[in-house]
């Protein structure tokens, strides 16, 4: 007599909340032990600023590493205000659905497991790209499953170094202010990173009600029947242009100084992930040149984002059309570009982000001590970049480093897991593809530092 063993698929094993709980039990996740020695004078071993996909995944990874005294803060009022629900204007993710994300190797926490539990077995196989709204819902489910609580509506107004191993955070809500101390601080602040929106000087003469950056919460309904100019030709610019067109804008003009669009296929070739994971170990000159080349070549725009705008007859694309000036005249914005002068009701800047810590109010106290790339590396003539040079120069554990060695050792207790780490790590840190290897590296570095510090005091 033969015993028959039925072949069981991964989807059949890893599906539903019960399966998640069992997987976490098997991983000893619910034990709840904190392997870091408690310090009665400090509230938190780690504080994470940012309750989005990176912040929650970081807290999850730290708990898996035995660091449980972790607090996650976010200035937003709740998950409905996070970027994936409020500012992400693309219809679907640009990341292939098969790329690993915040689940950190646990198949019960994958988007596929969630998707099939919601839409039915095998549904994920029929999806080309994950819808943006589905991704936002998945992240909410993920946070609930791993048990990470976010303290919503808490803003960090200032970061005050007390000593190595002790950072004081000045916190505020709508009705009170106070301080809390933490041993480690992680800045998981997404695309704003260590800086904020980059607004070109050509927009400096416009009143604030005449323009917005793609990082802003734009009232697209108010653009119905209006003429809109979009400055920039990366993905966020085209997503904003398409959203304005879909909202009923009379005309939308997209301007780029480049002679051609850098259009990426819907499924571009995936970079060598092993090369990406060792980028931070390359010599400074090689890292700078790769990031400089990427900036010089221009940010690409997915072909589906271009097509989404191009289906409208009232869409116009202006190539080789650098703006010379933009001023308000008679209640409109008069734009003088290389291809002529036109007037618009409103301008949207899809001009990316800068990462200078001095431009963020909460980092103003520590910014003078932080090493930027311009402090550490001098590029050859012709390869200079003010934007890249202002970006923090990070260590291998995503930690800030000293502008003047020996003056601010406490900077090693502040870690950057956001776009602010891009020059040092060679990829958009905080984006989905950066999570699989980056977050375990960060969690290991934090746990290592905390344990070594405790052993040093023993």
Same domain, 90 and 147: yes
Give the residue from 355, 333, 361 showing the smallest Cα distance to 345.
333
281 within domain boundaries: no
- The answer on 119 and 70 residing in a single domain is yes
The answer on 253 and 183 residing in a single domain is no
Domain assignment present for residue 278? The answer is: no
In CATH, what number is assigned to the domain containing residue 232? 3.50.50.60
Range of the structural domain that residue 418 is part of: 10-195+354-457
Task: Examine residue 288 and state whether it is found in any structural domain, yes or no.
Answer: no
Whether 81 is covered by a domain: the verdict is: yes
Query: Which structure tokens are listed for 380?
Result: 């050859």
Residue 447 lies in a domain: yes
Sign of CA dihedral 218, 223, 228, 234: positive
Q: Are 133 and 115 in contact (CB under 8 A)?
A: no
- Residue 267 belongs to a domain: no
Same domain flag for 251 and 320: yes
204 CB-near residues (< 8 Å, 6+ apart):
none
Residue 90 counted as domain residue? yes
204 shares a domain with 187: no
- One domain for residues 49 and 72: yes
In a domain, 145, yes or no: yes
Residue ranges in the chain whose pLDDT is less than 50: 1-15
Split into its structural domains, the chain has a count of 2
Tokens encoding 231 = 């400055």
pTM: 0.92
User: Is the domain of 101 the same as that of 44?
Assistant: yes
102 Cβ neighbours under 8 A, 6+ residues apart: 53, 54, 56, 57, 60, 109, 139, 142, 435, 439
Kindly state whether residues 138 and 15 are assigned to the same domain: yes
Q: 327, 351, 375 — which closes off a domain?
A: 351
Same domain for 210 and 183: no
The token pair that represents 258 in the structure block: 């480049």
Tens of pLDDT, residue by residue over 406-419, are: 999 999 999 999 99
Q: Say if CB 261 and CB 301 are below 8 A apart.
A: yes
**326 and 376 assigned to the same domain:** no
The pLDDT score that the predictor gives to residue 10 is 33
Does one domain contain both 187 and 207? no
Q: Which residues 6+ apart lie within 8 Å of 403 measured at CB? A: 368, 369, 370, 371, 372, 375
Q: Is residue 341 located within the same domain as residue 360? A: no
What does the alpha-carbon distance between residue 54 and residue 247 come to, in Å, rounded to a whole number?
Answer: 31
- In the prediction, which pLDDT does 11 show? 36
């Amino acid at each position: 007599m033969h015993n028959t063993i039925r072949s069981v698929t991964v989807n059949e094993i890893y599906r539903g909340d019960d399966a998640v709980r069992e997987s976490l039990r098997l991983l000893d996740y619910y034990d709840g032990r904190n392997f870091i020695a408690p310090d009665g004078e400090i509230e938190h071993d780690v504080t994470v600023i940012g309750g989005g996909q990176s912040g929650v995944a970081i807290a999850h990874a730290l708990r898996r590493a035995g660091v449980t005294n972790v607090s996650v803060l976010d200035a937003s009022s709740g998950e409905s205000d996070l970027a994936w629900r409020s500012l992400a204007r693309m219809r679907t993710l640009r990341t292939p659905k098969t790329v690993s994300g915040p689940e950190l190797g646990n198949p019960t926490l994958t988007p596929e497991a969630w998707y099939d539990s919601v839409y039915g077995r095998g549904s994920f196989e029929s999806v080309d790209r994950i819808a943006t709204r589905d991704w936002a819902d998945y992240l909410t489910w993920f946070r609930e499953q791993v048990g990470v609580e976010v303290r919503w509506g808490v803003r960090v107004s200032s970061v005050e170094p007390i000593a190595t191993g002790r950072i004081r955070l000045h916190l505020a809500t709508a009705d009170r202010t106070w301080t809390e101390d933490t041993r480690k601080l992680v800045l998981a602040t997404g695309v704003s990173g260590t800086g904020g929106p980059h607004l070109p000087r050509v927009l400096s003469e416009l009143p604030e009600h005449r323009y917005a950056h793609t990082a802003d919460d734009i009232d697209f309904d108010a653009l119905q029947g209006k003429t809109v100019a979009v400055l920039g030709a990366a993905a966020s610019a085209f997503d904003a242009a398409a959203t304005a067109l879909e909202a009923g804008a009379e005309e939308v003009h997209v301007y780029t100084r480049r002679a051609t669009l850098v259009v990426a296929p819907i499924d571009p070739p995936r970079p060598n992930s092993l090369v990406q994971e060792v980028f931070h170990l390359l010599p400074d000159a090689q890292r700078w040149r790769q990031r400089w080349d990427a900036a010089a070549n221009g940010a690409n725009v997915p072909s589906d984002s271009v097509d989404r705008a191009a289906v409208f007859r009232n869409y116009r694309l202006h190539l080789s059309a650098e703006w010379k000036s933009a001023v308000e005249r008679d209640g409109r914005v008069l734009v003088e570009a290389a291809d002529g002068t036109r007037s618009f009701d409103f301008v949207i800047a899809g001009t990316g982000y800068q990462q200078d810590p001095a431009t963020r109010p909460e980092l103003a106290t520590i910014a003078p001590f932080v090493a930027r790339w311009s402090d550490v590396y001098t590029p050859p003539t012709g390869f200079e970049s003010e934007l890249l040079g202002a970006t923090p120069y990070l260590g291998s554990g995503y930690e800030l480093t000293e502008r003047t060695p020996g003056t601010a050792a406490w900077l090693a207790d502040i870690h950057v897991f956001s776009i602010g780490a891009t020059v040092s790590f060679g990829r958009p840190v905080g984006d989905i593809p950066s999570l699989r290897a980056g977050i375990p590296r960060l969690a290991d570095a934090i746990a290592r530092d905390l344990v070594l510090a405790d052993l040093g005091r023993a």
